[in-house]
Copies of this chain bind each other. A is one copy, B any other.
Amino acid sequence: MTAVTIECCPPLTRGPLSEQDAVDLAALLKAVADPVRLRLLSMIGSHEGGEACVCDLTDAFDLTAPTISHHLKVLRTAGLIDGERRGTWVYYRVIPETVARLGAIFTPLVEPEQA
C-alpha cells in the first residue's frame, strides 16, 4: 500500500502524442477493445492463483474453441498475457506491467508521496 499524490492531467493530455507513440498505443488499445478479450483478461486476472486454463475460459462463452484461441493470441501478441503448457492444459496469466501501462495513459499522473 503505497501513498501517492495525484497531480494535474493524464499523460495523454500533457502534450501532443508523437505519431509513432500513437501507433504503438493504438495497437495495445485495439487488443483490449473487444468485449470477449476484456472478459478473458478479467477472468484470467481474477482467477485464483492468478492463472486460468483455456478450458475454463472456453466454457464461459458462446463461442467455439478456435475463436477463444484467436482472442488469446491477440492478447498474448500485445504482451497482455502469457501462456504456458503444463501437461494437457495451457495456462494463461496476466502481465500486470502492460495493464498498468494502459492505465497510466489515461490516469492523472501519480507520484510517490515521499520526499
Contacts and interface: CB of A to CB of B under 8 A. Distances in A.
A15 to B, nearest CB: 5
A7 B16 contact: no
Interface residues of A, number: 50
Given A12-B42, A12-B45, A38-B25, A100 B110 contact: no
Interface in A39-79: 39, 41-46, 60
A86 interface: no
A45 B9 contact: yes
Nearest to A6: B2
Interface string A9-25: 11011111101001101
Nearest to A34: B26
Given A17-B42, A41-B13, A103-B105, A113 B3 contact: yes
Contacts of A38: 12, 17, 22, 25-26, 29
Interface of A: 1-7, 9-10, 12-17, 19, 22-23, 25-26, 29-30, 32-39, 41-46, 60, 94, 96, 99-100, 102-108, 110, 113
